[in-house]
Amino acid sequence: MGVSRRGLLAAGLAALALPGCGDGEQTRTDPDRKVEVFSWWAGPGEKEGLEALVADFSRNNPGVEFGNAAVAGGAGTVAKSILATRLQNDDPPDSYQAHAGLELAADIEAGYVEDVRDLYQEQGWLDKLPTGLVQAITVDGAIYCVPVNIHRSNLMWYNPKILAGMQLTPPVSWADFLSQADVIAGRGLTPLSIGPAWTQKHLLENVLLGQLGAQTYAELWTGGTNWEGPAVLAALRLYTGVLARSDLAAPAWDWQPALDKVVAGTAAYNVMGDWADAYLRTKGLTFTEGYGVVASPGSDRVYNFLSDSFTLPRGAPHPGAARKWLVECGSVGGQDAFNPQKGSVPARTDTDRSKYTGYLAAAVAEWADDGTRVVGSLTHGVVANTAWSAAIDTALAAFVQDRDAAKFARAVAVSRT
């Protein structure tokens, strides 16, 4: 945890009263000597990317001490509540991880983050990022974060040896998955592994995407698609069928152990974003021999995207160093150090493609392909603000138990803010 501004002031006064004891405080208040960065990249498959970015940052900024304030837990579920408390208590880190898109809207409204458009001008970033991404992070002409990557949510991971043993190829539709599921269950395997609530939401968005198609899916978040109409209700019922073929009764405690079941061959498939690629590589597995991946059923040629970005909180204790961190996040060198380790493609369009191999070579090509349709992730902050997303969490917790599609659809529709 950092130190509140009030705490710093008190500590500063104490240092004045006790000469010789103020060195530590001097370090903390020096705008360039230290940077505390808050993220949720603490677990395997996440921390390696952060470490690579930090190593490049430290090479470029030898005088700045990096304070790693990462809080473990997939999708930041734990980190986000700790961060919210810190921001409310006027105790911000120097920079925090946030998704590009509507997730940041409430923090912007609360005045927690600074506009960093001047950095974009200084660094020439506006021409180096995809227009759609810049639009997703611009609010009334201001820009409140620096994107470091693009992740893809709609992917289905599998163990090729296990599928070959059952003479199966990955399903191309959710109906196809359901018929395969009987074969898989007949062999004593779990058709689909699942983890905690956010992974159930992650699965939901990708079942909706696969069933409804990109356009109708995108309009779920903009008001153009009727949540209570027959197409969405049918997709929601199909979701309950998918859940019934999962190990929801004994879910994994996070996304990594859910993937472990696929690696071990006790489950056939797992739907997860491409941070899974980084994790599977940490297990010594290689793409395509050790693991395989396809677009989640029905979403071929669609990129359900999310983007990790970093902010400059208002009242950051070391704003000078925080700006250096943001410059690193937005740089070619930083992105090319981070993304090959993280399992994501760079947010910038002018990076060195030769650094992206295995799964990532295909991801970089698909992301850059004009024929790829781009939609935004619900679970990872792009398409819904935090209030609506939290209301969906509450409704989903009930839905996975009672399987009442109409009740869920109504709850989602009425909670849109």
Pick the closer one to ligand GAL by CB: 221 or 255: 255
Q: How far is the CB of 125 from ligand GAL (least distance, A)?
A: 20
Cα separation, 110 vs 105, whole angstroms: 9
To ligand GAL, the closest distance from the beta carbon of 198 in angstroms equals 8
> CB-based contacts of 295: which residues, under 8 Å, 6+ apart?
154, 155, 156, 301, 302
**Helical (H) or strand (E) element with 149:** strand 149-152
Nearest approach, Cβ of 75 to ligand GAL (angstroms)? 4
For 135, residues 6+ apart whose C-beta sits below 8 A from its C-beta are none
Distance of CA 167 to CAs 162, 182, 243, 268, Å? 9, 14, 23, 12
What proportions of the chain, in percent to the nearest 5, are helix, strand and coil?
50, 15, 35
| H-helix segments, 245-331 | 255-264, 275-282, 319-329
> Quick one: 195 or 319, whose CB is closer to ligand GAL?
195
- Residue closer to ligand GAL, measured from CB, 245 or 380: 380
Least Å from the CB of residue 46 to ligand GAL: 5
Task: Give me the least distance between CB of 120 and ligand GAL, in Å please.
Answer: 21
Beta strands in 255-388 (DSSP E): 267-271, 292-295, 302-306, 308-310, 345-346, 373-376
Q: How far is the CB of 230 from ligand GAL (least distance, A)?
A: 32
CB of 193 to ligand GAL, least distance (A): 15
Could you tell me which of 286, 296, 306 has the C-alpha nearest to residue 359?
A: 286
Comparison of 128 and 152: residue with beta carbon closer to ligand GAL: 152
Q: CB within 8 A of 261, min separation 6: which ones?
A: 190, 193, 247, 252, 267, 270
Per DSSP, helices labelled H in 139-266 are 160-165, 174-186, 197-212, 214-220, 230-244, 255-264
**Contact residues: ligand GAL, CB under 6 A:** 40-41, 46, 74-76, 99, 151, 255, 273, 275, 306, 308, 380
CB of 335 to ligand GAL, least distance (A): 14
Nearest CB to ligand GAL, comparing residues 145 and 189? 145
CB atoms within 10 A of CB 397: 12
| Residue with Cβ nearer ligand GAL (41 or 227) | 41
**Whose Cβ is closer to ligand GAL: residue 11's or residue 37's?**
37
Cis? peptide before 288, omega within 30° of 0: yes
CB of 255: closest distance to ligand GAL in angstroms? 6
- Residue nearest to ligand GAL as judged by C-beta position: 74
Residue among 41 and 120 whose Cβ is closer to ligand GAL: 41
The smaller minimum CB distance to ligand GAL, of residues 171 and 273, is found at 273
Beta carbons within 8 Å of 358's beta carbon, 6+ residues apart: 277, 281, 286, 287
Strands of the sheet containing 65-68, edge to edge, are 65-68, 34-38, 95-99, 308-310, 146-147
Q: Which is nearer to ligand GAL, 103 or 114 (CB)?
A: 103
Amino acid letter at 153? S
Q: Which two three-digit tokens encode residue 301?
A: 């040629």
- Which CB sits closer to ligand GAL, 217 or 279? 279
d(Cα 250, Cα 181) in Å, to the nearest integer?
18
Provide the minimum distance between the beta carbon of 40 and ligand GAL in the complex, in angstroms, as a whole number: 6
Minimum Å gap between C-beta 97 and ligand GAL is 8
Q: Which two tokens stand for residue 79?
A: 């980190």
